[in-house]
Amino acid sequence: MEIKKGIGVSSGVVVCQALLLDEGEIRIGRRSIHPSEAETERKRLETAITAGGDEIRELRDSTTRNLGRETGAIFDFHLGLLKDPQLFETFILGIQRDHYTAEYAVHRALRDYGKVFLDHPDAFFRERVKDIYDIERRLLQKLLGRERIRLSVAEGPVVIVAHDLTPSQTASLSRTQVRGIAIEAGGRTSHTAIIANSLGIPAVVGLENIAHEVATDDLLVVNGYSGVVIINPDEATIHEHKGYERRQIKYQNLLNSMRDLSARTKDGVDITLHGNIEFPHEVDNALSMGAVGIGLYRTEFLFLAGEREPTEKDHYAAYAEVIRRMEGRPVVIRTLDLGADKYSPFQDQPPEANPFLGCRSIRLCLGNLRMFKTQLRAILRASVLGNASIMFPMISTPLELRQAKMVLKDTMEELDEENIPYSRHLRVGMMVEVPATALVPQPYVRECDFLSIGTNDLIQYTLAVDRGNQRVASLYSAAHPAVIKLIKNVVWSARGGNKTVSLCGEMGGDPDFTILLIGLGLRNLSITPRNIPAIKKVIRGIDTREVQRTVRRVMSFENAQQITNFLREETRKFLPDIFAEAMSGRD
């Protein structure tokens, strides 16, 4: 039995067999063939390519059925590679000219091809190397007659173990088969972690070397509360964690029974709980968890999961679906937040030394008006179908906000000229996720209808900690007094200016911060839907007058750990501590 400590990013406990995605490469020796064998090798190769293609198409189709077209499309790169005539030519040259076996020809060609991607200055292309290796393994296993373990047909439930998963890969995992995730990379609010949480899969990230220490079929305990993963646990540990699993199901049922209750404090203050989504099909789950609106629709996933740059029609279809499904309830559509850790294959971007501080998000949109306006037109057109608002991400200066609003106004005028209707009452807001805007929010309060605090980025920029880097993850804390002061500043300014302010970062979905956030004056939270019942439970237990005492205490502390400990204690008064043991070890 071995215990590994990482960061719990999606709650829940699971005891289950591992499936290693970064399985060791199959070593293919260089063996020559006689020229007379070339035709046989070519046929073997063609059969392998056909079988590999069928397998990928099957995977794409089942992913599309389960998780939507955008997610299924991530396999199109694999299919494109298999169909690439140039690559096929290289394989054939290996067989006919160099007298390689089909296996070695595939191995050689794809390794060389991979190197080109690996050396590419653009992180997006470097990332694609994983897909190339995946194709290599798939073809080799076909050639060698060994079945590759496929997620779509994996027998029984598994815990995925890997070095890293992209947000799109995580989104393509089947919830029924993938019971847990244990990966080496990532931080608390990396986008992979956020997706795992939306899918409700217990996940631990930042596990050093786990992909080397675990073999497929090892038994694992994944504790998404404490961030602990136990490899090949002993009987007593299995028993203990199976107990957590059972209690968790009971607890979830208890929380789910609160779906229809109001999020009202003991003294009668209503708190609005909205859901965060990345894909239109998540709306039903958000509603069933009790969301009364969508407070953050991360539209960039339309780009991240698609096989081509979305057209206005694609944008429109996605927004119309969300707005229609919400039947008049509010939907906040955030404009594209691409860049940094969310690269799209369609961005022709020069490499940047510090992409999180570079041309990402609204900066990227203002530099690419064609792309930006395409999205704005679609949002505006869909706005007549219900209650939509628009939100600009990562605004860092008032000028940037004005420019974004100007582009929106231009787009409205274009639609007017074309006699295309849109909602003239569309509310326009922005995310406060840069310390500069949080420190001096007044100009934005004046010029926006609403603000939404994006703590995921606000924390990384305030504390100078990359949100996706496991090596500095221990420094990333929502409880840092500087972060809390910034939130307080934004809330007070917005309320002073009579504007709605909400918070849509992961901090809002952590029950340990609910008392503090309500105490700071927030009345609107947008969170991962599965966290809504727990947050509601805390809200229903508190009295907004009494929580002022909690806020004063928090404001008197000077370090994050004291604040974390204090808030955890306070929260346990309202949420049952059935997970206290499961949580032990959490930092």
298 binding partner (options Mg ion, ligand PEP, none; Cβ < 5 to 8 Å by kind):
ligand PEP
Q: Does 341 bind ligand PEP (CB under 6 A)?
A: no
Out of 16, 78, 107, 191, which one is annotated catalytic? Answer: 191
Give phi and psi for 18, each to the nearest 5.
-85, 150
Q: Does 454 bind ligand PEP (CB under 6 A)?
A: yes
Q: Does 457 bind Mg ion (CB under 5 A)?
A: yes
Reference 167, options 135, 189, 150; nearest CA is: 189
Q: Does 59 bind ligand PEP (CB under 6 A)?
A: no
| Contacting range for ligand PEP; rule: CB under 6 A; set: 70-78, 177-185, 208-216, 455-463 | 455-463
Reference 223, options 61, 543, 4; nearest CA is: 4
Which residues fall within 8 angstroms of residue 109, CB to CB, at 6 or more apart? 87, 90, 91, 94
Q: Which is nearer to Mg ion, 287 or 338 (CB)?
A: 338
Residues 178-217, mask of contacts with ligand PEP (x by CB under 6 A):
----------------------------------------
- In angstroms, what is the minimal distance from the CB of 482 to ligand PEP? 16
- In angstroms, what is the minimal distance from the CB of 454 to ligand PEP? 3
Q: Does 454 bind Mg ion (CB under 5 A)?
A: yes
Q: Does 103 bind ligand PEP (CB under 6 A)?
A: no
- Separation of CA 470 from chain center: 16
Q: Does 456 bind ligand PEP (CB under 6 A)?
A: yes
By CB under 6 A, name the one of 10, 101, 197, 455 that touches ligand PEP: 455
- In angstroms, what is the minimal distance from the CB of 252 to ligand PEP? 24
Which residues fall within 8 angstroms of residue 436, CB to CB, at 6 or more apart? 396, 397
CB atoms within 10 A of CB 558: 8
Q: Does 433 bind ligand PEP (CB under 6 A)?
A: yes
Distance CA 182, CA 18 (A): 9
Torsion, Cα 250 256 258 261, to 10 degrees, reads -170
Q: Encoding tokens for residue 258?
A: 């609160």
| Contacting range for ligand PEP; rule: CB under 6 A; set: 6-14, 137-145, 286-294, 454-462 | 454-462
107 catalytic per annotation: no
Cβ 315 vs Cβ 375: under 8 Å: yes
281 catalytic per annotation: no
Q: Which is nearer to Mg ion, 178 or 296 (CB)?
A: 296
Torsion, Cα 548 552 554 558, to 10 degrees, reads 170
Torsion, Cα 14 285 292 575, to 10 degrees, reads -10
Three-point CA angle 518, 520, 526, nearest 5°: 50
Q: Does 278 bind ligand PEP (CB under 6 A)?
A: no
Q: Does 504 bind ligand PEP (CB under 6 A)?
A: yes
Q: Which is nearer to Mg ion, 195 or 554 (CB)?
A: 195
What does the H/E/C string look like for 175-187?
A: CCCEEEEEECCCC
Q: Which residues contact ligand PEP by CB under 6 A? A: 296, 298, 337, 433, 454-457, 504-505
Residues designated catalytic: 191, 504
Q: Which residues contact Mg ion by CB under 5 A? A: 433, 454, 457
